[in-house]
Amino acid sequence: MRIRSALLGVVLAATVAPAVAAGPAYASDWAPYAQAAAIVNANGTLAKAKNVTAASRASAGFYCVTLDASVDPAQSAITATPFNSVNRIGVVYPAPASRCGNDPQTLEIRSYTGSAYSDSAFTLVVS
């Protein structure tokens, strides 16, 4: 009986150990379920991006974010979320926006507090 228990323990350990050692399966790509995503700093620079080629601050509270050509903003759901709870994103214009050069790949994001436009870092997700 003791041999069977020891043998069973070895078989179970050999079966379970590779799964435990490998750990959970995480997607290696940042924002794996988004067509495009970005973290944009309040000054308009990109902190992190997936299928976003550029970002800039056009003026106080106005940002331009350019998507890679592989993403069609006209056929996408777009969400922008501010980091600072005092500021909130007012409008995401899918394109083309005159403030952003009328480029069909460039989104205009407006951030405001109350009725005044104000700068805010934000995340952008394009699904």
Task: Write down the residue that tokens 């009328």 correspond to.
Answer: 102
Res 36 pLDDT > 70: yes
Instruction: Give the total number of structural domains in the chain.
Output: 1
Structure tokens given for 89: 């994103």
What's this model's pTM, rounded to 2 decimal places?
A: 0.74
Host H or E run for residue 21: helix 2-22
Under the banding of pLDDT at 50, 70 and 90, the label for residue 10 is very low
In the DSSP assignment, the letter for residue 33 is: T
Domain span holding position 80: 36-126
Mean pLDDT along residues 99-109: 94
Is 71 inside a domain boundary?
yes
Is 55 inside a domain boundary?
yes
Is 12 inside a domain boundary?
no
Under the banding of pLDDT at 50, 70 and 90, the label for residue 21 is very low
Is 46 inside a domain boundary?
yes
Looking at the DSSP bridge assignments, the partners of residue 35 are none
Under the banding of pLDDT at 50, 70 and 90, the label for residue 92 is confident
Is 29 inside a domain boundary?
no
Torsion over CA: 94, 96, 101, 103 (sign): positive
